[in-house]
Amino acid sequence: MITISAFRWVPPFAQGQVRDLRVRWALEEAGLPYRTRLLQQGDQDKPDYRALQPFGQVPIFEEDGRTLFESGAIVLHIAERSEALLPKDADARARATQWLIAALNSIEPHVMNVAVLALFYADQEWAKLRRPGARDFALHRLDALAKALGDKPYLDGERFTAGDLMMTTVLRIIPDLVTDPRLTAYVERCTSRPAFRRALDAQMGDFKEAA
pLDDT digits (tens, 9 = 90+) for 169-204: 999 999 999 999 999 999 999 999 999 999 999 999
- At residue 210, the pLDDT reads 73
Give me the torsion for CA of 87, 156, 113, 73, rounded to 10°: 10
Residues shown for the chain:
211
Task: Calculate mean pLDDT across residues 98-115.
Answer: 98
Q: What is the pLDDT of residue 211?
A: 66
Domains of the chain with bracketed CATH: 2-84 (3.40.30.10), 90-193 (1.20.1050.10)
| Residue-level pLDDT at 128 | 95
Q: Residues 12-33: pLDDT tens digits?
A: 999 999 999 999 999 999 999 9
Residue 209 — pLDDT band, cuts 50, 70, 90? confident
- Give the pLDDT score at 60: 98
**Own/partner pairs, 64-67, CB within 8 angstroms, 24+ separation:** none
Per-chain mean pLDDT for the chain: 97
Q: What is the pLDDT of residues 69-102, one digit of tens each?
A: 999 999 999 999 999 999 999 999 999 999 999 9
The CA distance from 192 to 186, in Å, is 10
